[in-house]
Structure 1
Amino acid sequence: MTFSPARTTTMRYPSSDTQGEVPPFPVPHPDYYFEDGNLIILVENTLFRVFRSTFTRHSAVFRDLFNLPRPVGGSAEGLDDDNPLHFSGISAVDFERLLWILYPTSSNYGEWKARNLDEWTSILSLATRWEFNDIRTLAIRQLQTLDGISPVDKVVLGREYEFSGRWVLSAYIALCERSEPLSIPEASRLGLETAMRIAQLREQLRAGGRKSSRIGGYHTLTQSAAVRHSSTVASTTKPPRADRQQWGIGRSFLDRGDIPPPARMPHQKPLAKKGTTAIPGTARLVAEAFGIELVR
């Protein structure tokens, strides 16, 4: 059986460990071929030997996959190197990065904050596709801490992986408030409808002479409004279960206490029922234009 994901990775990220010619036969991965593993996976021409329970416990997609009935008279795939479970439609680099979160090695443990945009996007892609929800949340939170991500990249990431909030809103505001219009490559990435809305908002803001920094827009929202809502939030929401063990794997990144609590996703209950009407100034205008609900 060949397991082909429903979506294909939109970008490929070269790795120093995997550059060069592809070997003519499958070879074990140097870090993620565990001698006591019980699931053999082939991605491109690389063999990974991991633990089946890791995938079935934390991914609904893999639970369903392994619950499928076996063909009559057929042998189960994934039990040995000669009959691996074959993943098509992804790269070995993408899969390696997902395993880097699940099975941190001594060489990379403690370095998760140093990962870059390409690496976290790669992790987010597979975590979203295979419903590793905790890893998806972690990847989104880490992307939001990175410096140097352009507003266009933020908008594209939020739209492709269906998450929103202040991070994406700030990107829309930056594009609407900046002095120069969208370039042709930027407009192409954003799409015609989004580019047109940004252009219209730019003209509206320039005509009104409004800036979010002057009339209590996004930046004020993140400071004063957050303080204003803190007492209400504290009484209506449950504290994050920071002590809950996310994975049954020792020294997993998801067991670390310094990882921020998961953010609510767009489909979850908003922090305030007032919606965008509680957001002042330019931030409210932009949030309403692009249908953004600020959620905790």
Structure 2
Amino acid sequence: MPSIITQAPVRNQAFYMDFATFQAEDELFMAPTNYLKANSAAFNQLLDLQLGADPTAGQSDENPIVLDGVSKVDFERFLGVAVAANYQGEPPVALGIPYWLSVLKLANLWGFNDLRRKAIGAISSGELSIMERLSYGRLLKVEKWVAQGYTELVDRREMMTEAEVGQIGWNAMLKICKLREEFYSLKQSASGPQASTVHSPVTSASAVRQAFAVELEEIRAVAHALMVPVAGNSGDSDLGSEPDART
């Protein structure tokens, strides 16, 4: 009777998960690592460093992979979206801006370009004040938020407060005041007797991009540097910029 040749079983791509135990501050997390390792070169490097020093790291509560400098709140929120991205497509519930800010912070830290884009889109669709847009945009390297914040300061009628000047800096304040004067003069000319001959294709948004070109380029360059593709995964060719970054 001929012998039966059996083929070795293969692992199901969707439901064969690797898990590891992580520690953020004083809290332990057991999380699937398939998506994390497949989408972040920086996260792979973090794992390699700890596993190189101790091959049993992450295999128990007594020997977790320690995430230095990562808050437990940020990591919990990040995992909520990362796990959904791998197994559900989208988070099962609507999440607020603070939640997405945590996701964006760690997406930047570990170079998760898809989660960065998702977080920026979710936050952009919410309500941010002018100064929140500028503050978060500078801190988390989102070029379009910074450009939008400066443009809103140019367009609004109210003068900047002392606190706002302290936050954006005197150099930025002087540029905004100069742009306000220029656009006020254009508006006055447009409403005067020579209005029919006055035409300027320059908008406040385009003027802001020109006046703050150096700062915006620096933010764009840092954002690009944060997003390092995993070897063998080309990802997105425009790694450092979010959708419609210049609108």
Note whether the superposition's TM-score is higher than 0.5: yes
Output aligned runs, 1:53-72, within 5 Å: 53-68=34-49, 70-71=52-53
Cα-to-partner distance string for 1:43-74 (whole Å, 9 max, x where unaligned):
11211001232221111111122334724xx5
Summarize the Cα distance change of 1:43–1:210 in structure 2 as closer, same or farther, 3 Å threshold: farther
Which of 76, 83, 92 pairs up with 2:63? 83
Is 1:179 the counterpart of 2:157 in the alignment?
yes
Following TM superposition, by how much is the alpha carbon of 1:109 offset from its aligned partner in structure 2, in angstroms? 4.1
Alignment partner of 1:39 is 2:20: yes
Among 145, 161, 165, the residue aligned to 2:140:
161
Deviation at 1:295, TM superposition (A): 4.4
Q: Does the 8 Å contact 1:39/1:52 carry over to 2?
A: yes
Residues of 2 paired with 1:210 and 1:52: CA distance?
60
Distance 1:45 1:89 in 2: 12
Q: Deviations over 1:188-242 (max 9, x none)?
A: 222222222112222232233369xxxxxxxxxxxxxxxxxxxxxxxxxxxxxxx
Select 1:202's aligned residue among 170, 180, 191: 180
Report what 2:192 is aligned to: none
- Asked if the contact 1:58/1:132 (under 8 Å) is kept, the reply is yes
Aligned match of 2:115 in 129, 132, 135?
135
Runs of 4+ in 1 over 4 A off after TM superposition: 292-296
Q: Tell me the residue number matched to 1:126.
A: 106
AA in 2 matched with 1:97: R
Instruction: Please tell me whether the aligned partners of residues 35 and 83 of structure 2 are also in contact (alpha carbons under 8 angstroms).
Output: no
Q: Indicate the structure (1 or 2) with the bigger Cα radius of gyration.
A: 2
Q: Where in structure 1 are there 5+ consecutive unaligned residues?
A: 1-35, 212-278
TM-score (norm 1): 0.56
* Residues 210 and 282, structure 1, Cα contact 8 Å, conserved in 2: no
Aligned-residue Cα RMSD (Å) equals: 2.7
Which deviations, in whole Å up to 9, do the C-alpha atoms of 1:63-87 show, x marking residues without a partner?
Answer: 122334724xx55311111111111
Q: Using a 3 Å threshold, how does the CA distance of structure 1 residues 210 and 82 change in structure 2: closer, same or farther?
A: farther
Aligned length: 187
Query: Which residue identity does 1:135 align to in structure 2?
Result: L
Letter in 2 for 1:164: E
Greater share of residues in helix? 2
